[in-house]
Chain A
Amino acid sequence: MRHDLVTLNQWIDTGSRVLDLGCGEGILLKHLVDNKAVRGLGVEIDADNITRCIAKGLNVIEQDLDNGLSNFADNSFDTVLLTQTLQAVRRPDYVLQEMLRVGKECIITFPNFGHWQVRLYLMLRGKMPVSKMMPYHWYDTPNIHFCTVKDFELLCKRQDIKILHRTVQAAQGIDEKTKTPHWYNKLWPNFLGAHAIYHVTR
């Protein structure tokens, strides 16, 4: 199972309504439907991913997040998810606001640009980092709005967004023994965490 799924699982209630923005081929949503009996709806823009979701029996809507969520009513979902997509939207601040209008709670995950490896890469090589986690070049990347853990929390503060939980995971994931993030990630999250996972509300 994907490491972030373990973390997400505990924040989502059984049988709740879940909207997954940028749901990809529906791996997370399928997991939540099967294991948490959620009433799930995915939003996706890629044609092949939409077909894969349909083949899994998921509900999926073709829609561009950059055009907003005006077709969704206020508070119509218990949880709105945005996993590994925040950095790819045109206006992350606007998407966040829309998510919190539509959902009672939101879960956002993104690659932390403040991770030590990223900082080191930029410092030593003087080039935009390219890694397994960030495989694109600066000119062809869909990830147009990278941010750090600190940046994200500043935005939350500015938008009066309440952070319920924060977890960061190192590139190598979680502690296999305790099934939780390694203790040292909590020590200095913006430096040691490669993936950030936030559980927020209004």
Chain B
Amino acid sequence: MTSASNSVGIVAPKTAHFKQPFKVSCGRELPSLDIVYETYGELNAEHSNAVLVCHALSGDHHAAGYHSAEDKKPGWWDNYIGPGKAIDTNHFYVVSLNNIGGCAGSTGPSTINPETNEPWGPDFPTLRVRDWVETQRMLADSLAIEQWAAVIGGSLGGMQAMRWALEYPDRLRHCVVIASALKLTAQNIAFNKTSRTAISSDPDFHEGRYYQHNTLPKSGLAIARMIGHITYLSDGVMGEKFGRDLRSGTFEQGVESELEFQVESYLRYQGDIFSENFDANTYMLMTKALDYFDLAREYDNDAVKAFSAAKCRFLVVSFTSDWRFSPERSREIVKALIGAEKSVSYAEVDAALGHDSFLLPVERYNNLFTAYMQKVAQEQSQGDNHAT
């Protein structure tokens, strides 16, 4: 999908410093904050074309383009951000950040705690999705963005987008929620718990103080990633991609050899890469934020009541083969939005790639996402005309 003409090209991350203490929803304080972010496209004179992209569990600020000419892989949502793509950077000014608690430069567990001069590690305050929304709001203020044309996110990112609509109803015109949920199911929490247990039982984890021990809980993190990967794909797509193909060894009788299925090799590779590039404490913290999220908790557990204050329009998308954030979860979002008499469109995209579909090129998803964002761009330019 990416070629020179529809890529945002080479991009460089920026850092916003916030010197004042940040009050976390758990009651504790972070003395200061760094937020690393990237932007694509140009902010217009009216500041009305800004789009916020919220990342999911293992994402970061690098959503599109390349960091250098040698970079092999573009940002995580390059399929959908760029000139002429669904989030068209010819129209929109896209802001993508690394959430706090992350491990790609923003203040997180691997940052030095100024009080102890040691990395925060497991002592980093427990975060909720609302803390990310609050810090995203601070970033918006610093960029002089009064109102987002759209706040967009998939999975955990969709939860942030919905929280925006509730916390700051006047500060977004559209909310795009992809493969997300009002709250996780018990099965989903169970998967996250299993992943966290894999990490915490790695002897190199040292209860989260592995920085001080100069170790990394690589095997635990790799297992966590493997579990995640299996659940983000579908049975169908794994069968199609790997089947029972062997990478090495043979089943020939009379020959005893070391056997490895292609799927084993693939998971091992994915686990290894991830364990070298991701912080275990961030993984613990992010999965907990996912587990704790419940959009309607503060609204008498009534999602209709929760959405009643929202003023933006909504697009909700799910994927048929996604069993981690199934279409049923998205239908719950849509039902609540209809109940609250909000503007909502919903599509259940037939895609074989499971939860990961939201990141990957899927024709129908691309078409409807593009059509929706084109309307957002149109009304924005009409609005600008009215203003002048």
Residue B350 contacts which of A47, A57, A63 (CB distance < 8 angstroms)? A47
Residue A54 contacts which of B334, B338, B372 (CB distance < 8 angstroms)? B372
A13 within 8 A of partner (CB): no
Q: Are A53 and B345 in contact (CB under 8 A)?
A: yes
Residue on B nearest A64 in the bound complex, by CB: B348
Contacts of B349 in A (CB 8 A): 47
Most central of A53, A62, A73 by chain B CB within 10 Å? A62
The count of residues in chain B whose C-beta lies closer than 8 Å to any C-beta of chain A is 25
A9 within 8 A of partner (CB): no
Q: Are B331 and A71 in contact (CB under 8 A)?
A: yes
Residue A51 contacts which of B338, B343, B368, B379 (CB distance < 8 angstroms)? B368
Contacts of B372 in A (CB 8 A): 54
Q: Are B338 and A62 in contact (CB under 8 A)?
A: no
Number of A-B contacts (CB under 8 A): 57
B386 within 8 A of partner (CB): no
Shortest distance between the CB of B150 and any CB in chain A (Å): 14
Query: What sequence of 0s and 1s flags, for each residue 72-85 of chain A, a beta carbon within 8 Å of any chain B beta carbon?
Result: 11001000000000
Contacts of B367 in A (CB 8 A): 51
Cβ-closest 5 pairs across A and B: A55-B371, A71-B335, A51-B368, A54-B371, A61-B346
Residue A73 contacts which of B315, B339, B343, B375 (CB distance < 8 angstroms)? B339
Most central of B345, B346, B371 by chain A CB within 10 Å? B345
Residue A62 contacts which of B339, B341, B348, B374 (CB distance < 8 angstroms)? B348
Q: How large is the interface on A (under 10, 10 to 19, 20 to 34, 35 or more residues)?
A: 20 to 34
Distance between Cα atoms of A77 and B277 in the complex (Å): 52
Contacts of B345 in A (CB 8 A): 50, 53-54, 58-61
Q: Are A62 and B347 in contact (CB under 8 A)?
A: yes
Query: What sequence of 0s and 1s flags, for each residue 99-119 of chain B, a beta carbon within 8 Å of any chain A beta carbon?
Result: 000000000000000000000
19 sampled A-B residue pairs with Cβ under 8 A:
A17-B341, A47-B347, A47-B349, A50-B347, A51-B367, A51-B371, A54-B315, A54-B345, A54-B371, A55-B371, A57-B379, A58-B345, A59-B313, A59-B345, A61-B346, A62-B346, A71-B335, A76-B339, A76-B341
